[in-house]
């Protein structure tokens, strides 16, 4: 077990709706990254949050946004859902910039989002 949890496990939405996915990072980890994994593909980096601020983003449009909270939890928000947003959404956490720094990212189990 990595200590990273995600909710919900599964979610079904319709096109145009908005969705919020949640992640609880491993204790002591101040950095969280979100990834999208389409079926049969490797995870694709969406963005990273460090100390509650976004400090890196992949090739995803602005309708993908996030938040990170002081208690190590974070959210991924997706507006105006499209059919192609159907995927497994993963969060990963690590400790950066501290004496407990680790480059290794530990993943949660993911949230399976289906857009109809």
Partner 1 sequence: GESVGLHLPTLSVQEGDNSIINCAYSNSASDYFIWYKQESGKGPQFIIDIRSNMDKRQGQRVTVLLNKTVKHLSLQIAATQPGDSAVYFCADAGGTSYGKLTFGQGTILTVHP
SS3 66: strand
Q: Is 28 in the site for partner 1 (CB under 8 A)?
A: no
Site track for partner 1 across 72-111, x = CB under 8 A = ------------------x-x-x-x------xxxxxxxx-
DSSP state of 72: S
Torsion of CA 81, 68, 26, 92, to 10 degrees: 40
* Least distance to partner 1, CB of residue 60, Å: 12
Q: How far is Cα 99 from Cα 16, in angstroms, rounded to an integer?
A: 44
Q: Is 53 in the site for partner 1 (CB under 8 A)?
A: no
* Least distance to partner 1, CB of residue 15, Å: 25
Q: How far is Cα 88 from Cα 25, in angstroms, rounded to an integer?
A: 17
Which residue ranges make up the site for partner 1 (CB under 8 A)? Answer: 2, 4, 6, 31, 33, 35, 40-45, 48, 50, 55-56, 58, 90, 92, 94, 96, 103-110
């Amino acid at each position: 077990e990595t200590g990273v949890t995600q909710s919900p496990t599964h979610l079904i939405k319709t096109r145009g709706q908005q969705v919020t996915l949640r992640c609880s990072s491993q204790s002591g980890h101040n950095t969280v990254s979100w990834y999208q994994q389409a079926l049969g593909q490797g995870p694709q980096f969406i963005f990273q949050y460090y100390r509650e601020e976004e400090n890196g983003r992949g090739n995803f449009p602005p309708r993908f946004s996030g938040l990170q909270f002081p208690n190590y939890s974070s959210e991924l928000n997706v507006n105006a859902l499209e059919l192609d947003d159907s995927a497994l959404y993963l969060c990963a956490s690590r400790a950066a910039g501290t004496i407990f720094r680790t480059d290794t990212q530990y993943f949660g189990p993911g949230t399976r989002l289906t857009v109809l």
